[in-house]
Structure 1
Amino acid sequence: MAELATTVTEQLRQLDSARTLVLGDAHFYSQIVAGVLPIIGPQAKTELQRWGSDFLAESFANPTWSTSEKEKECIGVLPVLRGWLEMTDEDHAVIKSAIQTVASIYGFVFRRMISNPEESGAWENMTAIKSNILRRMDTLPTGIRICCIKFVQKVVQVQTAGIISDPRRPERNETSISLVPRNHPVLSLRNLEAEASGLLDRLLDVFHQDSSDAILINSTLNCVAVLVKSRASVANKIISVILNYNPLKLANTPMTPATKVSLKSMERTTRAVLRNINKSNPNGPLANKIDAYLVRLQQSRNAVFADTTSLKRSAPSEPTDGLDNIKRARFAQGPTYPPMPAPPNSFAQLFTLTEDTALGTFDVKVLPIDLVAPITTAILSHVDQGGLDRAIVEIRSRYDQLQKQAQAQAVKSMTEMAGEEDDDYDPEYEPEPPETEPAVTALPVAEILQPDIALGPYELPKPPPLSEQQVSIAAKQTVDRVLSMISTASTTSHSQKLGFNRLAASNDDRDAWATLMIRLATRAPRGLDDLVSDPDSDENQLVKKEPEVDTPSIANGIRTTLFQYILEDFRSRLNLAISWLNEEWYSERLILAIKKNLSSIESTSSPSSSFPIYSHYSYLFLQTILPYLDARSPLDTRILIRFLSEIPSVSLPILHLVERLAEDPERVTMCIMAFQYLIMMRPPVREACLDAVEKLWRENGEARQGAVKVLTRWRKDVLQAGLNNPSGEDGQGVIKNEEEEPIKAENGELNDKIKSEG
């Protein structure tokens, strides 16, 4: 028996070590969970089962463990959970943790069954576990019933239709019955919806019963609050049930301390849930009813819990017999202060307002100043303002009295001195003149004055040289500061001078700061990055050269930061992006002109090599924002067309990006509209755009109808050649596909239309 106990203890110690390992690194969860399942099964000792159930509940509730790994490991855990729930000699601690684990993995099992219907055995285990929990949910202890309520809430949430945010990415959508195909071989939509509706009624039944168990009521309220936020289809039903519930209905029963605590708890939870519902959806259909319910609930609470014994004791009534003078409330008279002693007086006697002689003997100078300061601050924050004003008035009156006494004493002394001088007066007395002796002040001024000291010019010491990393950090901080000024500065409120002769960045507004930022990135650093001080000169050295570190480019740092700032809200900051790209193109155009003048040779390079910075950032900006443009939003379509129309140069890579929009059937219209605008308004790229539209007409069946409208006006010969040779033998006809017959019919209509317009 001792050996068995030692073995169990050793196993628990090893299991604790494994738990510590996974808490430090979540990557080991899959290995540890799969390894401990044979040890903690239904045949194991009770201590091992308790440890295993707690570990599984903790693991599947841990957010650091990835969802994909949980979905893989949940299938292997189901047999162990089913064995624990079906044991005859069950342990309540094991059952509680097992139900918590089932509540955590139900959504993972449901999602796995959607994509892997061949694993029907796993769903059978989950169905058996669900039936076991629901069958004895009402007979279990309160602590386990709370876990059952959480499990029921999870089942209702999963088996109720949710919101599909992106139909093209089902793995990112919330797990719900909306993801289940109608022809799923294992999951029946009708049965799952009916089961969820019945479980919701069972969950809300606690509000219709005369239940005085505050723990069950509070746990149910907290669970249904999650359903109200995540499942709009059942939100009104849940709110209506809560509005018909009165948490203070047990107030008519004999009020015991336990009953009072329960009523306060249920009322507080109900009020908090309804307030949060109204806060998240203030314009909901039941918002007014919730507000009225909260007002009535507050009135009922004040009526039920009105307790005069908890209030402060009122002032005692005035005694009529005059025997209770000590406890009588003194309202008329204020505090009395002792009179000052006879003069002379000290400052301590002036400010002493108490008759306690012990305070006068205490020397406050023995206390350190760092101890006196916080004590004084704390006392002043709690001083009665009225008492402080009375004390100040008393000290002021004392000081005035002392001044009057001092003046009277001075007058008396002067009178006595005048009387004594009158008694000693002799009219025949003539004093002898004093003997004069040479004084120090009779010396020449030139001998006394010290000679002036010649001071040279004062120069501040030169700062130590900065490393290139420090220069880069300082430059980035400056750029961030200017960007913050762009965000916080106000827009232009007064009229500006328009035209080419106006001065840019002349006002302290958002446009001025944006212009300054763009000019710093495009024009200021031109050629400055190549100018470096002489490394051998210590006098002129401001930047310490470090050959092992790459020289940072301030201009590229500004461009990167500006690019990220624009992408944070590219719809409202499109003006800034267009201005920046125009400045980049203009700056590179000037540099190109200077190079041509110096070399006197015509450049034959491509636009991308002639304008490398502009080409890079214009392409990168369009490539970054295209995935976020919604074809159903007219605003996004206007944003794309405006960007293509206001940038100074449209290159072939940009046209290829626009052409790739047609790969998404929802964005075909956006693509055709962009090409149509460029063809009409930008003649330099008209032929390239027409080539792209012709390519879409030949290769993309979704874009054919929109491309035909453009080609009908600009390239009728292409349409005519395609109609005459629909098989594509010469490489110029229409490519055959599975929609060949509708295309032929459409081509016939187009032929008639072209002839009529021709």
Structure 2
Amino acid sequence: MSLYADEDLSAVQDIDTKTLPTIPHDPLQALAAALTCPPESPEQAEALIAAGQRFEEQPDRLPELCGQLLPMVVDGGESLLRSWTLDMVALAVGRSGLKVDVKLAVAQSSLDALNNMLLGGSIPTIKAVIPIFSTIYPMLFRLLATTRPPQQIYDIFLASKSRILAFALDPNIQPRNVGIKARAWKFLQRVLLAGTRAASADPRLQNKAGGNDPSVSMITRESPLNIMEMEDEANLLRTQLVTHMYSSDDPAILQPLFNTLPLLCKSRPTLAALLVSSMTSWTPAALEAAGRPAMQIRAVEKTMRLAMTHVVRQPSLTQFSAQLNDALLRQKLRMDSAFSHENVQRKAKREAIKRGMVVPVAESSEQAVKRVKLEIQPGSGSGKGPEFDVTTLPLETVIDAVMEGLGLVTEAVLETAFKNARQALLDNTADAMPVLGPSLNGEGLKAEVKGEERDEILDPLDMDVDDEDFLLQHAQEDQENVTFADITLPPPEIGSIPEIEDLVNLTLERIWSSGAELASLPDLEPQDGAKIAVQPKEMWMLLLARLATRGPDVKRKAIADFVSANFSDRSKFAAIWLNEEWYSQKLNGSGEYTINLETVLQACLATLDVKDKSLSNFLTSLPEIPLSAVHMLERLCEDVERSVPGLLALRDLVETRPPIRDPSLRTLLELCTHPERKTRFLAISTVRRWVPHSPMSDKVVSFAMGVYRRLVPTPKIQQGDDVEMEDGEQPDEEVYSKFLVETSKESVQQHLELVFALTKRREDLLDDIFSLYPKMESEIQDAVEAEISRLVQSMGATEKLLEVLRNFPQGAEKLALRVMTILSGEGSSQVLVTVVKGLMVERNLDPRFIIPVLGQLDKAEIEKQIPRIVTLLEEPDTRELVKTAFVSVLQKMTPADLLVALHSEETGLKVTIEAVGICFSLTTVFRSDVLATALQRICDLSSLPVIFLRTIIQAVTTYKSLVPFVANTVLPKLVLKRVWEVPQLWDGFMRLARLLGPASYGALVQLGRDQLREVVERQPALKTGLRTFLSGRPGGKAAWVEVSFYDDLKYTADR
């Protein structure tokens, strides 16, 4: 559940409230929450189911899960986590909607773990693993047929296939289980399909089948599979399939086996002739020989009939239609004959029962063995102790002795004795006691025969009426002539008061002890829409209530104790009794109603179960609810573990009892600010249903806004100062809640959750939220920004929210920015981008507003906003924010474009240097080739940026491979652009030359004489190397100026 979801509180009773506020939307987080629950507990089972639903909603997370979790559950015994993990693997490779390549990757990564579990002895695990292998077998076969994967995959493929086929064909394999064998036959079908060539009857479908229906025709030369071996295996499996059709006598095996036949006939026409012939000639002879019940044989016959019907409807198998139709007709006659024979046997058995004997039915040896093992044989009927003739004793003595003896015998022993006695009568053994026949046969055997006749359909025109005529005849013989005579009863004897009180107490005890036996009777159907408050079977409640209310207080105390002992089952009686008490109070003016109600509530609230709904029904059926009852419910709601019944009761009182509505609503609203979040959450879930369409809506909203206003500090007003208020403005009414303490950062959540939950239903509250935000203290504002995340995520970019963002008040920039950041978290809509653009034009807003929507802007707009984003570096702790912005920008422009844009000189030198440093930190993006492109483009600019030389030095320092490019390309261009005319660039040029060393000499000699002399003077380390470079130049290429300068340079170096 969530505070922003439209769910009712009654759903809380069916979930574990310890997992509140909601199941995480992220599947891995939902799984982590399930793993924190106690192992193998119902809570963990429910949490795993919820996590599975999350993975079904986001199947792209399944491959990651299977790879990490499956190896963890291989070892150990059965567990909820292992079963759940196998379900997720089956979901990933089966019906998850993932791409085939992804499913194949999951299958390969899971193969080893699945094979290990297949080799174990856990029956539930093997049952879950075999269907997974049935799903992935075609994918693995296609992989092995067309490529040569690692040898390990091929070995596991063969091992797992052999293991599963053994489950289907080997009668001695362990563990032996019918369920495992049935699933193995489905896998055998996949193996048989893959081992048979897909010669489709329709030539147009051959190419299509080739890609989706793997077969031996797909096997290539480099495949580890051998075509001959696969076809031989398929022929062997085909023979085993037909053999088991005739030899198996287990319906649990035959039914899944028959279900594989239609697909085999349809997909592999080469198998159709053999399989159709086997189906048409099959009979349930093996089942009959094994003594299987007629119902099981009929179920297997129906499965075979469905299989043949499915085959006969296939257009590609029309050549078998006559053969199949003839088999269907013969099967129908066979089933009708078996059904008639079964009816004759049942009728004969009923006749035998009526005559006191049963026709013995032959049973198989298997049934005889089961009877020896499972049934308790009746004894001889004679005891081992001394015998005594009980007819010599008085009847009362014998009855008392028998009843006392029966009291010492357990119920299980009695049931076994009754069963043995009935069986003895049916088998007509020496131990049979005919005197017990009417008692035992009248109930036990009649019920048994009735159960056997459940499947029989009798003709109402051919029913025997002998029994009814026989009963009618005896009824007529037993009739006697009855005459009425006048009789006068003697006057009653009035006993003493103690005797009368004892009689009344005895009467009360008998009424409430026997009244519960009437609860199983059906309710009276309402007529003409009238609803009866007290059903006829509940009249004992009304009688008992009136006796108690008309008597002394002692009776009331006894009734209160009676109700308190089991309030859940006796709440209806308690309501009837208290209604009588209220009526008696109105007549007599006594105050017993409120006292008794408080007594009952105090007793029941102490033991009330969290899922018990009787409390709400009880209170709403009372004629009057005192204020003390509301206070008692409030104390119940403050109990975190048992608050749900109290909240439901208060909710129903608010909705159905207007006289007590205000205090009940006030209690609920105060609980919405409870310091315990679980209690607060449930209370908010209760009251939000009344917003916006209910009489309570205005009060709920007013309270919520009052709590929110508490976050605004109250200004201190000096004595004598006047408070200015706008026209029509009324002072805000102060809201009180005993759970709200002084406003602090820790208590902000108590103030916000109610108003945020209501804002989802009444979006106009956003105006008040934004208007009050600027008046709050800084730390409170930070807490509000953190809490508003879930509200914005649940609302989305609604029209009202966008309107508020367009017109948010001065001082609410941080909150507006937070909302925009959340809305753009899953991709910015064009509407949000329009809003941000409009705000940037109309207001001088913080550049942070543009960052959430940078990815939606075009390249020109991004280049225009980059200088504003760079200015954020003037503030502390903004480096990561700017770095995030740069990453977003790279979706629409190249890294070289970004680096060129940063050299636009529209921002300060310091922040630009830091921005360029951020780019260099993204080494995976700003590689050496990217930097070379950017440097060359900057060189071609009409005006060189001041920081350009610093960027070159940083690039060369980071990537030494850029030295030749810079020396041979960039430096000559700088000389041509007369770099010495800009002092800052000239200083950077000389430092770069020193950094490059000999690589820069070629560019340096292109300088004028004065410039070169300045370089040598300011960078003395270059003198020696430059002199050597000049001396090595060809003499014919040296001009006299260079020679003259060389002499000066030589002189300078020597000196």
Bucket of the pairwise TM-score, normalised by the shorter protein: 0.3 to 0.5
Larger RCO: 1 or 2 (CA < 8 Å, sep 6+): 2
Judging by fraction of residues, say which structure has more helix: 2
Query: Could you tell me the TM-score, scaled by structure 1's length?
Result: 0.38
Query: Could you tell me the TM-score, scaled by structure 2's length?
Result: 0.28
